[in-house]
Structure 1
Amino acid sequence: MTENSVRIIEIPKIKDARGNLAIIEKDCVPFEIRRVYYLFDVPSDAYRGGHAHKKQESFLVALSGSFEVVIDDGLKKERIMLNKPDKGLLISTGVWRELENFSAGAVCLVLASTEFEEAEYIRDYNDYLRFKAL
């Protein structure tokens, strides 16, 4: 996996005795945010994702609880635990991802560089491997 295709980014935060404040602004994420969505109430034995994107970059944050992201570039798989709301996982285009092992109360925030377009998704792993071979 190349460092640029997947990496953890520290989200700036302000510490305060009343509670911390995390800030995601234009300099934190290296793309213009075109869509925001979040996953919640995911059963612990379920998984999400199971796809790659042709164009979209994604930034995932565990706002609450924890979950694992299995990333795959067609050659190597890596498992990354997200469990801190001040750290996000940047996933560039062309990287297969699966999200699993959600803790109770986990919330996964996703910031995306594109609006939803079904044709932009690669949902079959064999199609993904052919896409990577191009």
Structure 2
Amino acid sequence: MKNQIILNLPVKNLDKSRAFFSALGFSFDPRFSGENAAFMNIVDDTIQAMLTTEPFFQSLIDKPLANAKEANELVICLNCESREEVDSLIAKATAAGARIPHPPEDNGFMYDQGFEDIDGHLWNLVWTAPEA
């Protein structure tokens, strides 16, 4: 089995979602992107997200689509290399329109903060001291 994770996330407006994540520094692979989806590289070629329009996403499943602004099924957690990277990504997310649901949590050996993207998906950014 290939060590790769691809998250499929429904979005209301693909162009706005691409702009949001581009502002955070994520890149997109045009080979797997089009009118209904955008293939976003999160961590090189091992972790990606397929942002799909809600109608296209709905065509892939046989149950109702959850509204991520009203209910949550998962939190996407990304490990950062430093506290500064956490703060930098939070600042970029905020500037791009994210909602910040809670203040940063600093436990000394671990520092984290999260954001809600423009479609309501929750992302948590965490740095852990190497010695922890």
TM-score band, normalised by the shorter chain? under 0.3
From the two aligned structures, give the one with the greater helix fraction: 2
Task: Point out which structure has higher relative CO (alpha carbons under 8 A, 6+ apart).
Answer: 1
Give the alignment's TM-score, normalised by structure 1.
Answer: 0.25
